[in-house]
Amino acid sequence: MVAHEGSSCCSNPHPTYDESTETPPQVDSSPPHAEGSEIDVSKDGGVIKKVLVAGTGERPPKGFEVEVHYVGKLQDGTQFDSSRDRDTSFRFVLGEGQVIKGWDLGVATMSVGEKSMLTIQPSYGYGEAGAGGSIPPNATLQV
């Protein structure tokens, strides 16, 4: 994939906890992943991240709202969804189960401005059920 494909991460992360009464979540301040690196995010091969463009800064912690752009494709290259085609980003809260497990895990490892491709095996995606007519059962996804 090239720029404008894959997932772009984390502009304007917003806390979803009550700053006046709760302790903020811990951020991961380790250095951003290098461009071209491949990381086994799930530690079992279920979610592999390939960094296309390195980001800067910290990674968002669980409980933060993140804003991403993405192009979702099946393993054969068939596109099933794209925030870029709609010209609007997608927001979700990390670690809250609002998206497939592969996205929760993968986006949590991204830094602001990073562009990566996530290869997500069915057990971290839509599994045996698939999703509607566009994602068949047991599909490997590239986002």
pLDDT (tens digit per residue) in 55-71: 988 899 999 999 999 99
Which of 135, 127, 105 is CA-nearest to residue 7? 105
Beta bridge partners, 39, equal 49
pLDDT score of 139 more than 80: yes
7-16+28-142 in CATH: which number?
A: 3.10.50.40
Domain residue extents for the chain = 7-16+28-142
Average pLDDT for the chain: 84
**What predicted TM-score, i.e. pTM, was given to this entire model?**
0.79
Amino acid letter, 102: G
Mean pLDDT for 104-133 is 96
Between residues 2 and 24, the one the model is more confident about: 24
Residue 9 pLDDT: 53
pLDDT score of 2 more than 50: no
Residue 8 pLDDT: 55
